[in-house]
Amino acid sequence: MNILNSDQLASTLMPGQGPGLQVVLFWQQEDEDSAEALESFRRMNWPNECQVSVLDVSNAPLTTSWFGIQSTPALGIVSDGALLAVEHQCSEIVCDRLLSIAHSQVRDLAARG
């Protein structure tokens, strides 16, 4: 799990920088809901095809703004700088649903391209 606590470290989420699908927990250190989401996030079993990261929104304002995150916690699937799916709950069921949506969007984009 990658800890992204600056815009510089979060550059791996930007276009042309990161590998494939990336699961990202957008969180705020001082937020109680974010703390609970982080604990849940850490316990999850992640698919091998995904890079998993935690982004501290208070220390990465440009990245947070790029993805349009308005509130935390938020669980997102990112690919090549695009937020493909986002949910404000953090559980394995939610993550599975988000990954399914993201895979569908990637297939749709590939079919068009």
Q: Give the whole-number percent of the chain exceeding pLDDT 90.
A: 41
The pLDDT tens digits for 44-94 are 887 777 888 999 999 999 999 999 999 999 999 898 899 988 988 877 788
Mean pLDDT of the chain: 87
Of 37 and 69, the one with more pLDDT: 69
**pTM of the full structure:** 0.85
- Helix, coil or strand: residue 63: helix
CATH assignment of 2-112?
3.40.30.10
Query: Any idea how long the chain is?
Result: 113
Predicted confidence at residue 113, as pLDDT, reads: 64
Predicted confidence at residue 24, as pLDDT, reads: 93
Distance (Å, whole) CA 84 – CA 67: 10
